[in-house]
C-alpha cells in the first residue's frame, strides 16, 4: 500500500493554467493559504506551456479585463524593456508588441509569460501563503455527500502521493479532471439544439464531439541553412490525408476560412501586394527581430498554431489512458509532419519546393522534442447553477451592443464564437457574439457545495465555450473563483448562499470591484 503525504490549505487549486494561476493570486491577495498543483513543469497553461499568445478583444488596451490581467500584460512589456536589447523606438512604444503578430496586441515568448507569472506569485510563495506543486497530477478525490473532503495528486517525478485537504477546492485543470473523480455532474461535447435552443447547436447531442486540440511549436528561419528534421513516422499518412470537409490535403497552404468555409490559400511569408493576414508567419509571430537591436536575433520567431495542425481524429476526454496517449502521440506526429512538409515539399512563390532553413526551436517551449503541451480548447463543463447559452451572447437574440445582463456578474469578456473543427467531423463554427458578462452561477455546480469551476469548465455549452475559453476570460473566471473561495472562508458561507442572497452578493461584487474586476462593459458603440 502506498504511503500518502498530507497537506492542508484554505483553497486547494487543481491545475496551474491561466485560470488556476489567477485563482491563486486572487485568494492569496485576500489572505488565504493556497496550494496550487500543476501537471507540467510550467504554470500558465495557454500563456506558457501550451505556447498560445493571448487571444483578446479589440478594447483590451483600454478596458475589458481585470486589473491583475492588465498588470500581467504590462509586466510582460516591462520584462522585455528590462532584459532585451530593444531599439529606441520599440522601447518608447507604450503598447510594445514584441512579436508584432497580428493575432494579438501582445505576442510574446512563453518563457517570458512564465517569468512574469512566477514574479507575480513570488511574494505569496515567499510568505508561505502559496505552495506550488509542479509535476503533480490529479489521481483521486474523496467526498462525503455534497462535499469534497480531499483530492490526492501524484508527484510525477517521485511517484509519491499527496492528499490535499481544505474547505474549498477549485478545478482549474485543462480538461476538468476533478469533476468525474469527485462525482460532480458535468457535460462533454455537443448538446442537441432541442436541449439548448441554440441556432448553432447540432440536431443531435454527441458527448464525443469536441473541438480539436493542437500541439504547437516555435520556428525561426535561417535561409541557406538546412535544419530539416528526420522524416516523421506517420508522415505518409498525414501527407495524403484530406478530410471530406477540407478544400485540400491537410498538409497544404489551403484551408477553409473559419467564417465562410470558403477555401483560403495563404503563404508562409508576406508577399508583395497581399494582406498581412495572408501570411501564416505573421499570424502568431512572437519575436519581430526589427524590434531589437541589429544582430540581437538572427531571425523572427513564430509560433505555429495554424489550421494545418489542429487534431480532430479522436477526443482525449473520457477515454482510456491508452486512447488518450495514442491521440496525443498522433497529434505530435501531425505537427512534426507539417513541419517536415514545410521544410521539404511545401510550394514556394518562386516555384521551388520546401524551406529547409526553418528551424524547430525547442528552447522556446521548454521541451526536449520541441513540441508544446497540448493546447486543449474544450473541457468537461459543470452542470451549473446557471448555463450561458448562445442566445445570451448572440446579436441575433440581444437587442443592444452587449450580451444579456446577469445580476450575478463576476466579470466580463468578449470574443467571437470560435469553434475549431471537431472530433465529430464538423468544420469550423465561427459566428458573431456580443461583449458579455460572466455570471457567478456558471462557476457553481448544481449540487457540490465546496468545489468551484475555475477555468474552461464553467457552465457554458459546446457553443458558448467558443467565446468563453480565451485567455482574459479564463483569467477572469479563475480570479473570480479564487476570490469567491476566499470570501466564503472568511464569511463562513457557501458559494450558492452568496449568489442567492442579494445583500451578500452585492458585498461580494463590491469586493471584486475593489480588487479591480470589471463587472459590466462601458457604453459601446455598435460595430
Residue 392 and residue 271 share a domain: no
Please check whether residue 427 is in contact with residue 255, taking contact to mean a CB–CB distance below 8 angstroms.
Answer: no
Does 201 fall in a domain? Answer: no
Please give the pLDDT value at position 524.
80
3-state class (DSSP) for residue 316: coil
Residues of the chain with pLDDT below 70 are 1-2, 526-527
Please give the pLDDT value at position 4.
84
CATH of residue 124's domain is 3.50.50.60
- Quote the pTM value: 0.97
Cα three-residue angle 59-86-306, rounded to 5 degrees: 55
Domain boundary (365, 399, 420) is at 365
Distance CA 17, CA 192 (A): 30
Residue 250 and residue 138 share a domain: no
Residue 497 and residue 432 share a domain: yes
Distances, alpha carbon 46 to alpha carbons 389, 442, 453, in Å: 24, 21, 17
Please give the pLDDT value at position 193.
97
3-state class (DSSP) for residue 411: strand
Domain boundary (320, 345, 365) is at 365
In the chain, the number of structural domains is 2
For residue range 182-219, list pLDDT tens digits in order.
999 999 999 999 999 999 999 999 999 999 999 999 99
Distance CA 475, CA 468 (A): 11
Does 207 fall in a domain? Answer: no
Nearest to 498 by CA among 514, 487, 513, 482: 487
Does 202 fall in a domain? Answer: no
Distance CA 4, CA 161 (A): 5
* DSSP state at residue 55: P
Please give the pLDDT value at position 526.
59
Residue 114 and residue 241 share a domain: no
Domain that holds residue 317: 213-365
| Other beta carbons within 10 Å of 448 | 24
Domain boundary (338, 365, 392) is at 365
Please give the pLDDT value at position 355.
98
Distances, alpha carbon 470 to alpha carbons 415, 419, 499, 520, in Å: 8, 12, 25, 18
Please check whether residue 116 is in contact with residue 293, taking contact to mean a CB–CB distance below 8 angstroms.
Answer: no
What phi and psi values does residue 217 have, to the nearest 5 degrees?
-155, 165
Residue 226 and residue 347 share a domain: yes
C-alpha cell at 82: 528590462
Nearest to 416 by CA among 513, 250, 527, 298: 527
* DSSP state at residue 505: H
Residue 381 and residue 283 share a domain: no
Residue 361 and residue 382 share a domain: no
Residue 33 and residue 157 share a domain: yes
Residue 164 and residue 28 share a domain: yes
Residue 360 and residue 394 share a domain: no
Beta-bridged to residue 12, according to DSSP, are 35, 169
Residue 75 and residue 176 share a domain: yes
Does 371 fall in a domain? Answer: no
Nearest to 470 by CA among 31, 2, 65, 25: 65
Distance CA 244, CA 13 (A): 42
How would you classify residue 157: left for phi > 0, otherwise alpha for psi between -120 and 50, otherwise beta?
Answer: alpha
| Other beta carbons within 10 Å of 231 | 12
Please check whether residue 429 is in contact with residue 147, taking contact to mean a CB–CB distance below 8 angstroms.
Answer: no
Residue 125 and residue 182 share a domain: yes
Does 206 fall in a domain? Answer: no
Does 408 fall in a domain? Answer: yes
Grid cell 506543486 — which residue? 133
Distant-in-sequence, close-in-space partners of 280: CB < 8 Å, separation ≥ 6: 253, 266, 267, 268, 304, 306
Nearest to 32 by CA among 339, 469, 483, 406: 483
Helix axes 67-83, 110-127, angle to 10 degrees: 110
Nearest to 438 by CA among 400, 401, 464: 464
Distant-in-sequence, close-in-space partners of 525: CB < 8 Å, separation ≥ 6: 401
* DSSP state at residue 314: S
3-state class (DSSP) for residue 136: strand
Does 519 fall in a domain? Answer: no
DSSP 194-262: HHH--TTS-SS-BTT--B-EE--EEEEE-TT---PPPPPTTHHHHHH---TTSSS-SSSSEEE-TTT--
C-alpha cell at 306: 495554424
SS (H, E, C) 411-441: EEECCCEEECCECCCCCCEEECCCCEEEEHH
Does 520 fall in a domain? Answer: no
Distances, alpha carbon 519 to alpha carbons 54, 412, 450, 465, 499, in Å: 21, 6, 24, 19, 15
Nearest to 19 by CA among 442, 428, 366, 319: 442
Amino acid at each position: 500500500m502506498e504511503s500518502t503525504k498530507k497537506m492542508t490549505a484554505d483553497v486547494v487549486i487543481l491545475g496551474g493554467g491561466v485560470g488556476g494561476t489567477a485563482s491563486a493570486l486572487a485568494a492569496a491577495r485576500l489572505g488565504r493559504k493556497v496550494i496550487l498543483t500543476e501537471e507540467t513543469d510550467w504554470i500558465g497553461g495557454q500563456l506558457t506551456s501550451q505556447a498560445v499568445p493571448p487571444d483578446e478583444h479589440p478594447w483590451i488596451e483600454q478596458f475589458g479585463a481585470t486589473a491583475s490581467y492588465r498588470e500581467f500584460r504590462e509586466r510582460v512589456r516591462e520584462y522585455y524593456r528590462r532584459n532585451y536589447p530593444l531599439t529606441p523606438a520599440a522601447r518608447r512604444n507604450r503598447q510594445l508588441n514584441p512579436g508584432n503578430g497580428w493575432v494579438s496586441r501582445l505576442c510574446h515568448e512563453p518563457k517570458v509569460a512564465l517569468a512574469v507569472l512566477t514574479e507575480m506569485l513570488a511574494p505569496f510563495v515567499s510568505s508561505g501563503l502559496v505552495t506550488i506543486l509542479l509535476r503533480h497530477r490529479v489521481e483521486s478525490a474523496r467526498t462525503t455527500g455534497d462535499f469534497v473532503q480531499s483530492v490526492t495528486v501524484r508527484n510525477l517525478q517521485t511517484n509519491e502521493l499527496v492528499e490535499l485537504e481544505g474547505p474549498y477546492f477549485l478545478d482549474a485543470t485543462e480538461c476538468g479532471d476533478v469533476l468525474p473523480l469527485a462525482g460532480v455532474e458535468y457535460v462533454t461535447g455537443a448538446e442537441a439544439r432541442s436541449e439548448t435552443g441554440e441556432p448553432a447547436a447540432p440536431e443531435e447531442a454527441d458527448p464525443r464531439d469536441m473541438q480539436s486540440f493542437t500541439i504547437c511549436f516555435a520556428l525561426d528561419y535561417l535561409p541557406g541553412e538546412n535544419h530539416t528534421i528526420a522524416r516523421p513516422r506517420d508522415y505518409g499518412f498525414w501527407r495524403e490525408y484530406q478530410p471530406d470537409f477540407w478544400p485540400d490535403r491537410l498538409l497544404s497552404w489551403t484551408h477553409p476560412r473559419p467564417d465562410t468555409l470558403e477555401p483560403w490559400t495563404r503563404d508562409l511569408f508576406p508577399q508583395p501586394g497581399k494582406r498581412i493576414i495572408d501570411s501564416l508567419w505573421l499570424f502568431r509571430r512572437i519575436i519581430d527581430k526589427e524590434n531589437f537591436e541589429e544582430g540581437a536575433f538572427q531571425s523572427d520567431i513564430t509560433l505555429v498554431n495554424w489550421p494545418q495542425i489542429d487534431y480532430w481524429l479522436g477526443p482525449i476526454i473520457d477515454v482510456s489512458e491508452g486512447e488518450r496517449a495514442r491521440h496525443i502521440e498522433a497529434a505530435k506526429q501531425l505537427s512534426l509532419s507539417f513541419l517536415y512538409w514545410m521544410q521539404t515539399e511545401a510550394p514556394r512563390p518562386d516555384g521551388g519546393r520546401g524551406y529547409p532553413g526553418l528551424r524547430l526551436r525547442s528552447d522556446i517551449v521548454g521541451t526536449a522534442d520541441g513540441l508544446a503541451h497540448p493546447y486543449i480548447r474544450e473541457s468537461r463543463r459543470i452542470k451549473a447553477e446557471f448555463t450561458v447559452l448562445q442566445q445570451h451572447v448572440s446579436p441575433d437574440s440581444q437587442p443592444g451592443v452587449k450580451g444579456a445582463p446577469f445580476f450575478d456578474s463576476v466579470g466580463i469578456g468578449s470574443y467571437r464564437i470560435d469553434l475549431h473543427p471537431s472530433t465529430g467531423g464538423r468544420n469550423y463554427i465561427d459566428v458573431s457574439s456580443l461583449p458579455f458578462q460572466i455570471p457567478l452561477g456558471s462557476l457553481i455546480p448544481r449540487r457540490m457545495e465546496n468545489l468551484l469551476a475555475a477555468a474552461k469548465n464553467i457552465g457554458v455549452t459546446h457553443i458558448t465555450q467558443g467565446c468563453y475559453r480565451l485567455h482574459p476570460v479564463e483569467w477572469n473566471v479563475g480570479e473570480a473563483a479564487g476570490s469567491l473561495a476566499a470570501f466564503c472562508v472568511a464569511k463562513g458561507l457557501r458559494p450558492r448562499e452568496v449568489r442567492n442572497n442579494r445583500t451578500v452578493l452585492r458585498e461580494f461584487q463590491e469586493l471584486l470591484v475593489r480588487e479591480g474586476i470589471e463587472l459590466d462593459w462601458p457604453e459601446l458603440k455598435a460595430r
